[in-house]
A and B are shown apart, each in its own frame.
Chain A
Amino acid sequence: MREASLTRSRAAGVESAAPSNPLPGFRLTLGFTIFYLTIVVLAPIAALALKALRLPWSQLWELATNQRALAAYALSLGASLAAALVNALFGSLLAWVLVRYRFPGRRLLDGLIDFPFALPTAVAGLTLADLFSSHGWLGQFLTPLGIKGAYTRLGVVIALTFVGLPFSVRTLQPVLESLDTGVEEAAACLGASRFRTFASVIAPTLLPAILTGFGLSFARALGEYGSIVFISGNLPKTEIAPTLIVMRLDQYDYTGAIAVALVLMIFSFGLLLTLNMLQGWAAKFQEP
């Protein structure tokens, strides 16, 4: 093990000069890590896999692809995609304003960004449904205009946007902070306009981080349930995949719940894989 760690060490030459790693506790901590991971995470996932394998394949397929399930996936994917797009746009704007400008209330704004993360999603759903209902602070102005934000698909998008926003901002912020302004100065000295500098110098550097933030908020939205309970009004037209799982569980339809859960997990694992590849790609841009 030690030999392997030496040859595989990617760190500087100082480290490979050291004869071995003298720090204690490797076996203890790694053993505990793997044990805890297995008990808490891997065993339950294995239980799902075992359970699914024992079920008749045709029934599972039927329940995973019937009309109700397909409608739920469509809304889950569509609403999450819309929310992630809104977050990519406003998240980038917020990150830019927070990093580049100094103005009164900047610290407060920075703290506000964390609220959707810190606020329990049930509370977010409760208050958003009230704000956008026809008598709410925002709904009383929006409803006459035909914009119904509570108990509609738009409401689902609003709630998913709320819960995903911090991911977009916080992924982009550190990258913006470490951005070398010298390149911008060079572009400006060479005669590029501010807009051209932004479009051809700044934006391409930030793209991997923006995409990563987009993916993270998309993934967060795909699994969200707590806020949707309140703002969807439990209507058939606002049913997302996690809601369908709960509905089927309530009727003790375990096969139906497993079928939808498997599809949802395939979506999220696919997304996780894409994100990992994206981060590998982004890391290439970060190296000095």
Chain B
Amino acid sequence: MNPASVPHSPLRAAPVPLPEQPLAKWLLIAVAVLFSAVFLLLPLVNVFYQAFSSGWALYWKALSEPDTGSAIRLTLLVAGISVPLNAAFGLAASWAIAKFDFRGKTLLLTLLDLPFSISPVVAGLLFVLLFGAGGLMAPWLEAHHLKIIFAIPGMVLATIFVTFPYVARELIPVMQTQGREQEEAALTLGAGGWRTFWHVTLPSIKWGLFYGIVLCNARAMGEFGAVFVVSGHIAGQTDTLPLRVEKLYYEFDPAAPFAVATLLALLAVATVVLKAFLEWKSRRET
């Protein structure tokens, strides 16, 4: 890669720090470590501790309930639809925004960020107003016997809305850094548009793309507010894992919500580990 085309090095080279008072340095480190241990690590450990507090048997019982099984399947289904769609959108949007100059680009970038600044609960409300009973689309949906709100399509739509910008937001800076010389070279050498994309662009953005997909997936599987509003809370039908946790919270077994929560906590651990791995990979290749 031509170093001149990189605006600032993405390498996390440690700046040579000035000697600090050792006391001040270790005091700051101690505060940071203590704060993170109590505030970040302890909540995670607590999930597993509480889940197993009544023994393995009850843990498995909570996980093997049919309603929990259907919540796992629904969570995978919702993420399985919304993440690929948002990834495809992210690829298209970043190609148009990073490789071309056009009027209204700043406006488009601002619109991309809209879902970040809208409360998930409001996002759910938007879809209720559009597709719910008395909503704008209600007469048409009724005429065609379609049900979106309090059903799976509504949950997919709400999830897509909430996780909409993640892949695009990751890819735009990566593609901007790469510039377009390599694609121009490939085209000059006779490659077609798709071939250029597959063999030149995609390999150079693959870690950024994975990274965006991992983040998007974590949000999609863990989304609560937006899905809560449109789900209708039908046990065994429209409960995703986070919604299942909430429902079990109000039931008699105090360990059951934690048992289901361990699945989501493992997803979080996997996300953080993958993120660290992808950052390491992309650093090594640049």
Contacts and interface: CB of A to CB of B under 8 A. Distances in A.
Given A33-B108, A122-B242, A246-B228, A101 B28 contact: yes
A48 B126 contact: yes
Interface string A159-181: 00110010000000000011101
Interface residues of B, number: 104
Nearest to B9: A178
Contact of A222 (B89, B119, B243, B265): B119
Nearest to A47: B130
A59 interface: no
B117 A120 contact: no
Interface string B64-105: 000000000000000000000000010111011101111100
B119 A118 contact: no
Contacts of A36: 89, 92
Chain B residues touching A, majority SS: helix
Interface in A41-59: 41-45, 47-48, 50-51
Contacts of B243: 122
B210 to A, nearest CB: 15
B6 interface: no
Given A5-B100, A23-B100, A29-B93, A122 B129 contact: no
A119 B268 contact: yes
A119 B96 contact: no
A276 B272 contact: no
A269 interface: yes
B235 interface: no
Given A118-B218, A119-B268, A112 B119 contact: no
Interface residues of A, number: 102
Contact of A47 (B31, B42, B136): B136
A204 B123 CA distance: 37
A269 B114 CA distance: 8
Contacts of A257: 125
A261 interface: yes
A124 interface: yes
B127 A41 contact: no
Contact of B224 (A93, A99, A122, A188): A122
B258 interface: yes
A4 B103 CA distance: 8
Contacts of B110: 272, 276
B108 A23 contact: no
Interface string A1-38: 10011001100000000000111111011101110110
A181 B18 contact: yes
A29 B92 contact: yes
A229 B246 contact: yes
Tell me the interface secondary structure of chain A in the complex: helix
B54 to A, nearest CB: 14
B111 A225 contact: no
B15 A93 contact: no
Given A41-B161, A112-B41, A242-B121, A130 B50 contact: yes
B190 interface: no
Contacts of B155: none
B1 to A, nearest CB: 16
B14 A102 contact: yes
A120 B122 contact: no
Given A47-B135, A120-B224, A225 B117 contact: no
Interface in A97-147: 97-103, 105, 107, 109-124, 126-128, 130-131, 136-138
Contacts of B157: 40
B101 A126 contact: no
A8 B95 CA distance: 19
B263 to A, nearest CB: 9
Contact of A40 (B17, B20, B164, B218): B164
Nearest to A268: B117
Contacts of A261: 119, 121-122, 125
Contact of B246 (A122, A162, A265): A122
A51 B128 CA distance: 11
A138 B43 CA distance: 10
A254 interface: yes
B202 interface: no
Contacts of B92: 28-30, 32-33, 36
A242 B119 contact: yes
A268 B106 CA distance: 19
A110 B35 CA distance: 13
Contact of A123 (B47, B103, B111, B225): B47
B208 interface: no
Given A119-B268, A197-B18, A269-B117, 20 more contacts: A5-B101, A8-B101, A32-B89, A33-B93, A42-B111, A93-B28, A101-B28, A112-B40, A112-B272, A113-B36, A120-B242, A123-B242, A124-B43, A131-B46, A185-B18, A225-B225, A225-B228, A245-B119, A246-B229, A249-B229
12 contacts: A9-B101, A22-B187, A47-B135, A96-B28, A117-B218, A118-B267, A119-B222, A120-B224, A123-B47, A181-B15, A223-B122, A268-B118
